[in-house]
Amino acid sequence: MNSLIQNCCAKIGKIFTGSNDIPVEYENNHIIHTQQFNPDWIDMIFGDANSIWNMFKKGTIHRSLGHSLEGKRAFIIFTEPSTRTFYSFWIAAETLGMKCNPSENAKQISSLVKGEPMSDMIEVLCQYYPSLIIMRQSQEGMMEIGAGICDKYGVTLVNAGDGSNQHPTQALLDLYAIQRRFNRTTNLKIILGGDLRYGRTIHSLAYLLAKYPGIEMYFVSPKELALPKNITEYLDKHKVKYSVGEDFRHLKGWADVLYWTRVQVERIENPEEKKRIEKASERYVLSKNDLSVLIGPESLIMHPLPIYTEVSREVDSDPRALYKTLQVQGGLMIRTALIARTFDIEIPRV
Ligand code: NCD
């Protein structure tokens, strides 16, 4: 912890450890980016998520946690499309007894459509005595601004995806799925492929994995969709082992985890560029045949979803594919654990 962080420790929210050089001065436990987490805190969240999952399975979740956050209100405001993140956050907040005001289409149905700045909307929502705002939106830097506004009102802000920047809770659930299958988050070889430039799940996961020893990452994409420099610089600075390439089919038997993503076509404005990138991406479609030579019987195939055409449909039923099962269900457990801890709720171990 550097001295700047230490000096303002009394002020900052507990979830901001200040690790890995990001100075933060927020008072609340906002969830903004994955650099803010430390492995001990992540272990605790994973333990909570396991217990929550057991409560769901046993049917005791309502009795055990259903009143934990009674009387607290959550706004769930999304201006970009979502299925899993939106619903799992909503279910998670309700599971803990919160009152929820969800809007999955806030760009169309709120005053944002009339040109109201996002920062005004956040400030206005804070007037209604919420405890939590879970937000997905596309403006770079808005989460940090929003966290500053929320601090004034004692409201906690959770980043549910900010443009092509980060998606911290997705990275936590991805790592949780790995932990559930391998019983470790260290000493892993991971191929991260697809859209490394605009894919926020990749960015958050790369920063998160960088915190663990023995991690080796191989980033593969067409050159137009290469990983942003700020992330490779971060990995260099923290001496994380990684390589970058445009092909992956030579990496036979190398990876423990194959993490694939779709091209974020909606973020590419120029039609010519879009066409070129779509064409270049054609050779990154994962087939069943690819997998039979690329990864072993114990390896994992992961994807944040939605899948467009970058993974062949025949892979869905492969028992190593976690994207329609463990990643989705684990996401609910992680988000429930995260909200609970934000408000210092202890999850009993069951
Ligand atoms: C991703 C997202 O929105 O960043 N999905 C998700 O939240 N699980 C990935 C994507 O849109 O491609």
Q: Average pLDDT of each block of 10 consecutive residues along the chain (350 residues)?
A: 36 64 75 93 97 98 98 97 95 98 84 84 96 95 94 96 97 98 98 98 98 98 96 96 96 96 95 94 94 93 97 96 98 98 96
For residue 103, the cross-strand partners are: 77
Instruction: Give the whole-angstrom CA distance, residue 61 versus residue 95.
Output: 8
Cα separation, 48 vs 338, in Å, equals: 9
**Which amino acid does the sequence have at 304?**
P
Cis peptide leading into 306, omega within 30 of 0?
yes
Range list of H helices, the chain: 3-7, 39-58, 61-65, 84-95, 106-109, 118-126, 142-152, 168-182, 200-209, 229-237, 271-280, 288-294, 326-342
Cα–Cα distance list, 172 to 68, 119, 265 (Å)? 22, 27, 25
Looking up tokens 């549910």 gives 160
CA distance 310 to 281: 8
Helix (H, G, I), strand (E, B) or coil at 281: helix
Backbone phi, psi, residue 299, to 5°: -70, 170
Q: Does the domain spanning 168-323 belong to CATH 3.30.70.240? A: no
* Minimum-distance ligand 1 atom for the alpha carbon of 201: 4
Ligand 1 neighbourhood includes 85 CB (under 6 angstroms): yes
Q: Which residues contact 184 (CB under 8 A, 6 or more apart)?
A: none
Angle at the Cα of 161 from the Cα atoms of 226 and 152, rounded to 5 degrees: 130
Q: What is the pLDDT of residue 223?
A: 95
Is 335 designated active site? Answer: no
Residue 89 CA to ligand 1 centre (angstroms): 14
Question: Probe ligand 1: pick from 76, 305, 328, max atoms within 8 Å of CB?
Answer: 305
Token pair 């697809």: residue:
194
Topology of the domain covering 3-167+330-342 = Rossmann fold (3.40.50)
**341 assigned to active site:** no
Atom 1 in ligand 1: residue holding the nearest Cα? 304
C-alpha separations of 188 from 48, 124, 132, 218 in Å: 23, 45, 35, 11
Let me know if 136 is a catalytic residue. Answer: yes
| Candidate from 201, 204, 259, 284 with most ligand 1 atoms within 8 A of CB, to mutate | 201
Is 85 among the catalytic positions?
yes
Q: Which two tokens stand for residue 318?
A: 């492969």
**84, 189, 200, 211: which one is catalytic?**
84
Q: Are 277 and 224 in contact (CB under 8 A)?
A: yes
Report d(CA 247, CA 273) in Å as an integer: 21
Burial class (CB in 10 A: 0-12, 13-18, 19+), 328: middle
200 is annotated as an active-site residue: no
- Among the listed residues 72, 167, 189, 203, the single catalytic one is 167
The CA-based dihedral angle spanning residues 92, 88, 203, 144, taken in that order and rounded to the nearest 10 degrees: -50
Catalytic annotation, pick one of 85, 95, 156, 336:
85
The predicted model scores a pTM of 0.94
Domains of the chain, residue spans = 3-167+330-342, 168-323
Same fold, 3-167+330-342 and 168-323: yes
In DSSP notation, 183-250 reads S-SSSEEEEEES-TTT-HHHHHHHHHHTTSTTEEEEEE--GGGPPPHHHHHHHHHTT-EEEEES--TT
Nearest Cα residue to atom 7 of ligand 1 = 85
Rounded (5°) CA angle 181-44-233: 75
Query: What does the pLDDT read at residue 24?
Result: 66
> Is ligand 1 within 6 A of the CB of residue 131?
no
